[in-house]
Amino acid sequence: TKGESDLSDSNDDIVIDSDSETPPSDSLETNLEAALRTSSAERSSSKIEEAANVLRKKHKIRVRDAGGEGRCPPPLSLGFAEIRKRYPTMGCGKMLLSRLKEAGFDTPTPIQRQAIPLLLENHELLAVAPTGSGKTLAFLLPIIVSLRSKDDEAGGPRALLLSPTKELAQQSHRILRLLCRGVNTLRCCLLTKATQMNEMDKVDVLVATPLRLKSLIEKKRVALSAVKYLVLDEADKLFEMGFVEQVDAAAAACDGPNVTRALFSATLPETVERLARSVMSAPMRLTVGERNAASETVKQSLVFVGQERGKPLALRQLFSDGVKPPAIVFVQSKDRAKQLARELRGDGLRLGLIHAGMSDAKRQAQVDRFRAGDTWTLVATDLMARGMDFVGVGTVINYDFPGSSHAYVHRIGRSGRAGRPGAAVTLFTEEDAERGDLRAIAHVMKNSGCDVPDWMLATGSSDPRLRRRKRKDGREDNPRREAIDPARAAAAAAKETERKRALKLKDRAARKKRLREEKET
């Protein structure tokens, strides 16, 4: 029960004092399991707390209770089978455990160890963990276990999963159906144009993107009053300026009496956290690893290329030196994605291309080809940086510098997933360093355990001409870059030269005018 698993009486992170002695790692799980297995009469809450905290320290798990009531249950100490022992009235049967093993989910990851008990005990949750750490299963499994054990048949979805992109929604839906197959009768639906709305009352779990869902809510074509779990996946993206209104509409529509809200992301800026807390009630805050840091399994490096025109040569040199495939090459826009794909077509890289300007069918075809191994190198925009799980991606190359540290974390997180080794290489120019972008990425690398030169942590410019321009919606424009095509690059360079010449002439004329006015006075 919750009372027997109380672990904290304060708002402080639940961690062990760094000076305390840590038992051998192979005994940590055994100690906690033994404490939990003790009868209620003999169980010591202090022993449970001590064992749980040691296990949390081992896995770099930190929990903060916003309610200050010490409500946090112990993390899973052994494997997924422990769910069945700790929550016997819920639906974690042998078939589900077998399905997890078949899908490659052998041992809970740190985020899964703590998030699953929290959600099964209906705690609202803010969860932050590195990319590739298993966040998707951390919220899907509690939904499967909890909802299949319910007897109520209220009309409409009982769980709502909101994802920022169609590709991420499709991925969550695919994993959900895989785990439910032959296990239970949960009806899962991915909201698309083809969804039969007259069947919505029979749906148990609805997976959707914000814009499409908001449209249906406004038309009163979907009822969400029966929702018991509301999950916001890749929440930092959902709470960007363009999605706040849609998320608010979904949260307001989930107006049932017992809604458990959960937010999962690899990064959580303070502004986003404040917005998230506005739709949650005293959530638990769960963090795995360092905040806004990349996975420690990804080897990160920076390559200086001087100017934009040095990038194609540097990229080809990387492939010549032996980039570990499969690889994803990120650029900042769909136009540059097309340009780079044309530039590399004859290089024998078994190349693929994906961007937001493609139809859903074409994008899905590219995803399928990459997953099947027909494509070894995928040129992509940030569309693919959010949550997409490609097993075995060897290398991520940032051809264009990421727009923020959060974008960087999500991009390189396509590699090194589920504890596998990976690599991330970021090309940067003089302007990237002068703009101040390099400093933010260098700090992420340092937080992830990489050796970073001190000058990178201090570099930056106060020149307003180098700063990114802000749009009306609060987001920043991508910096202007030379075209990747050689002919277009030459034309762009000539145009830039002419622009600088015009500015000099304008400055010279203004200076002459000012001097003339000073003489006259």
Q: What is the residue type of 250?
A: A
SS3 303: strand
The structure tokens listed for 473 are: 């919606």
Return the closest-CA partner of residue 216 out of 205, 200, 232: 200
DSSP state of 194: T
Q: What DSSP element (H or E) covers 494?
A: helix 486-520
Q: Which residues is 160 bridged to in the sheet?
A: 206, 230
CATH superfamily of 298-466: P-loop containing nucleotide triphosphate hydrolases (3.40.50.300)
CA atoms within 13 Å, Cβ hemisphere of 344: 26
Q: Which residues is 327 bridged to in the sheet?
A: 377, 395
pLDDT tens readout for residues 227-238? 999 999 988 878
| Per-residue model confidence as pLDDT tens for the chain (521 residues) | 333 333 333 334 433 333 344 445 555 566 666 666 654 544 567 788 888 889 999 999 999 886 666 678 999 988 999 999 999 988 888 889 999 999 889 899 999 999 999 999 999 999 998 878 899 999 999 999 998 644 455 578 999 999 988 888 999 999 999 998 877 778 999 998 878 777 788 899 999 999 999 999 999 889 999 999 999 998 887 876 568 889 899 999 999 989 999 999 888 888 788 888 888 888 899 999 876 667 778 899 999 999 998 999 999 999 999 888 899 999 999 999 999 999 998 888 899 999 888 888 888 898 889 988 899 999 999 877 665 667 678 999 999 999 888 889 888 888 877 667 889 999 999 888 888 788 889 988 988 888 888 888 876 655 555 555 555 544 556 788 888 876 655 665 677 678 888 988 998 999 888 888 888 87
Q: What is the dihedral of CA 48, 26, 289, 261, to 10 degrees?
A: -50
Q: Which residues is 517 bridged to in the sheet?
A: none
Instruction: Tell me what pLDDT residue 464 has.
Output: 55
Instruction: Tell me what pLDDT residue 338 has.
Output: 92
Cα separation, 310 vs 516, whole angstroms: 44
CB 206 within 8 A of CB 191: yes
Q: How far apart are the first and last CA of the chain?
A: 86
CB 234 within 8 A of CB 188: no
**β-sheet with 351-354: strand ranges across:** 298-306, 422-429, 395-398, 327-330, 377-380, 351-354
CB 409 within 8 A of CB 382: no
Helix ranges restricted to H, 322-474: 334-344, 360-372, 405-412, 430-435, 437-447, 454-458
* Total H helices, total E strands in the chain: 19, 14
Q: In CATH, what number does 79-288 get?
A: 3.40.50.300
Return the closest-CA partner of residue 232 out of 184, 178, 268: 268
Instruction: Tell me what pLDDT residue 43 has.
Output: 53
Instruction: Tell me what pLDDT residue 290 has.
Output: 72
The structure tokens listed for 57 are: 């320290």
SS3 404: coil
Cα separation, 206 vs 213, whole angstroms: 10
Instruction: Tell me what pLDDT residue 385 has.
Output: 63
Cα separation, 89 vs 67, whole angstroms: 27
| Cβ-based neighbour number of residue 424 at 10 Å | 26
**β-sheet with 188-190: strand ranges across:** 61-65, 284-288, 125-128, 260-265, 229-233, 159-162, 205-208, 188-190
Instruction: Tell me what pLDDT residue 2 has.
Output: 39
Instruction: Tell me what pLDDT residue 12 has.
Output: 40
Pairing mode of beta strands 327-330, 395-398: parallel
Cα separation, 249 vs 406, whole angstroms: 25
What is the maximal distance between C-alpha atoms in the chain?
A: 98
Cα separation, 145 vs 67, whole angstroms: 26
Cα separation, 250 vs 254, whole angstroms: 6
Cα separation, 343 vs 403, whole angstroms: 23
pLDDT tens readout for residues 114-165? 999 999 999 999 999 887 889 999 999 999 999 864 445 557 899 999 998 8
